[in-house]
Structure 1
Amino acid sequence: MKPMPITEADLQGYVDGLLPEERLEEVAAYLEGNPDEAERLRTYRHQNQALHLLFDPVLDEPVPARLSARPSSNWELLQRYAAILIVAVFAGAGGWYLHGAAQSSSVTWIASVAGSVTRVDAPLMMARRAAVAHAVYTPDPRRPVEVGADQEDSLVRWLSKRIGADVRAPKLAPLGYELIGGRLLPGQSGPVAQFMYHDGAGQRLTLYVSTDQVQNKDTGFRFAQEGTVNVFYWIDGKFGYALSGSIDRGELARIANTVYEQLDKPAK
């Protein structure tokens, strides 16, 4: 029997892990002969991973009492429907923005439902964005960075010019990590930088550098975890830094301390 042609529905089902095993094998064989399609699906998977990193923590939050209580009037019920619609619209817009930029905005106010507003920790949101960017770009085998380490001087000058402040790529070779390169990412009110490193086994780290901070008070090291990505982050003057990697927390802390010590010293 002639095999059925591979459709877009098959490809999307492959990304989401919803295909039966026999169809899964057929799609996998198709992708082996169509590298462009395989690359497109890898991008979709990276986006799915980033969305899970960003929104899965919400699933563990308790339902607010005001939302679980029985509506006392038709007007209250209408307010709730309006709030749900607002959340849906912003979630859709956020997903599309992540699709296009792989980077959500740094915000001080993240939710407004039926008149209730919640303030968030801006440095923590920076850490979460750094983890999402790490999850999106580090798996990319072909172009994880915009400018490679062979053009490090040009990369640093370019990022410094775009950010409006002098940035540096720390030297992590003594710790077993070499610079791959870097890229520019969008922030709340301007661009931010991402430097990427790897070791001999292919493990990758990213350093997220932002001058896009709502709070510019210095902080000590803080730790956050988004899925499998560990993040150490801190604020130093006008800069915000976040070092991300899927490695042991203690090892990441050791590397973060080295990064801090290098960046705290004047450039030579």
Structure 2
Amino acid sequence: MNNSTQPIQENDLHAYVDGQLDPARMAEVKAYLAAHPAEAERIQSYQQQNDMLHALFDPVAAEPIPLAMHPAARRRSFMPIMRYATVALWMVLGGVAGWLIHGADSAKPAYLASLPHQAAIAHVVYTPEVLHPVEVGADQEAHLVKWLSKRLDANVHAPHLTEAGYQLVGGRLLPGTDGPAAQFMYQDTKGKRLTLYVRTHVKDMRETAFRFEQEGKVGVFYWVDGPIGYALSGELAKPDLLLVANVVYHQLNL
């Protein structure tokens, strides 16, 4: 069948992003995108997401598989492939926290260990979005805060980070491992974005000072304040991100 007679479908676009098209169809999709700038912008954002997810997760996928995960080690010819596929799936879904948290303190509570990882995943998924980076924009801030507070069953606030050079873009509701989570997005005049990830259900957790994790290209400062866990994520140098984290902390504790 001649692919040139077939219109470009959504599955063609996703296959293009994943590099799964043959050269002829790839050329047709490129021509289609050149003629449709809005679609090209959307597809470019998907490619950026792929690049960021690879940067975040590829180092973990390259780690040796823990011995406890393959007791039938003699079946090495097949089982490692299946395990890597399973690990990759769970990483994308954000459902792993334990041994996937590279360098995590073994004495650290599981919730606290998972907080920066979940925040980094949400950051790399949504910050490249051009058309729909948030569910509710900053022009509806009062509604956004009221909605998220109701869904998280806690008083949630959107810090104002003007003094740090960032403006609120808006926010969204996210699924968490033990309940809903929220994400507030901020942007500076150059288009650099930061996200504040907020989780409740922090039962029996004491307040903590700032902690820092590097998740691929994304730095994350996180802490617990009362029943709420916070994680500020961004592709900034650690000192610069710390300055913004301090502004966030003081804003939340006014």
TM over 0.5: yes
Letter of the 1:127 counterpart: P
Measured in 1, the distance between the counterparts of 2:30 and 2:203 equals 46
Q: Is the contact made by 1:107 and 1:188 (CA closer than 8 Å) also made in structure 2?
A: no
Partner of 1:245: 234
In the other structure, the counterpart of 2:64 is 62
Per the alignment, residue 205 of structure 2 pairs with 216
Aligned to 1:154: 143
What CA distance in whole angstroms lies between the structure 2 residues aligned with 1:168 and 1:258? 13
Partner of 1:137 in structure 2? Answer: 126
3-state DSSP of counterpart to 2:174: strand
How far apart in 2 are the matches of 1:84 and 1:24? 28
- Mapped to 2, the partners of 1:230 and 1:83 lie a distance apart of 30
> Do 1:122 and 1:215's aligned partners in 2 also have CA atoms closer than 8 Å?
no
Which amino acid in 2 is paired with 1:124?
Answer: A
Quick check: 1:230 aligned with 2:219? yes
1:120 Cα deviation after fit: 7.6
Aligned partners of 2:56 and 2:217 also within 8 Å:
no
User: Aligned pair in 2 of structure 1 residues 212, 105: CA closer, same or farther (>3 Å)?
Assistant: farther
Q: Aligned partner of 1:145: which letter? A: V
User: Of 160, 181, 188, which residue of structure 2 is paired with 1:171?
Assistant: 160
Partner of 1:191: 180
Quote the residue 1:30 is aligned against. Answer: 32
Which residue in 1 is equivalent to 2:245?
256
Cα 1:90–1:24, aligned 2, differ >3 Å: closer, same or farther?
A: closer
Distance 1:155 1:90, change over 3 A: same
Distance 1:192 1:222 in 2: 19
Indicate how the Cα distance of structure 1 residues 121 and 93 shifts in structure 2: closer, same or farther if over 3 A, else same.
closer
AA aligned to 1:14 is Y
Cα distance in 2 for residues equivalent to 1:179 and 1:35: 27
8 A Cα contact 1:180 1:196, kept in partner? yes
CA contact (8 A) 1:49 1:136 kept: no
CA distance in 1, matches of 2:180, 2:195: 16
Tell me the residue number matched to 2:105: none
Number of the residue aligned with 2:18: 16
* Shift in Å, 1:57: 3.0
Contact 2:172 2:183 in 1 (8 A): yes
1:160/1:166 contact within 8 Å kept: yes
Letter in 2 for 1:263: L
Superposed CA RMSD in Å reads 3.8
Q: Following the alignment from structure 1 to structure 2, what is the Cα–Cα distance between the partners of residues 124 and 176?
A: 29
Tell me the secondary structure at the aligned position of residue 223 of structure 2.
Answer: strand
Cα deviation digits, residues 69-101 of structure 1 (max 9, x gap)? xx9xxx764799779757745654664xx3xxx
Q: 3-state DSSP class of the match of 2:206?
A: coil
Deviation, structure 1 residue 162: 0.4
Q: Which is further off, 81-90 or 44-53?
A: 81-90
**Number of residue pairs aligned between Structure 1 and Structure 2:** 245
Distance 1:85 1:20 in 2: 26
Q: Aligned pair in 2 of structure 1 residues 264, 84: CA closer, same or farther (>3 Å)?
A: same
Moved more, 147-156 or 243-252: 243-252
State the TM-score, normalized to the length of structure 1: 0.74
Secondary structure of 1:52 counterpart: helix
Residue 215 and residue 132 in structure 1: after superposition, are their counterparts in 2 closer, same or farther (change >3 A)? farther
8 Å CA contact 1:106, 1:122 repeated in 2: no
CA offsets, 1:199-244, max 9 Å, x none? 1111111100101446622221111122221111111221111101
C-alpha spacing 1:212/1:143, structure 2 compared with 1 (3 Å): same
Residues 140 and 88 from structure 1, CA distance in 2 versus in 1: closer, same or farther, beyond 3 angstroms?
Answer: closer
Query: Separation in 1 of the partners of 2:140 and 2:66?
Result: 51
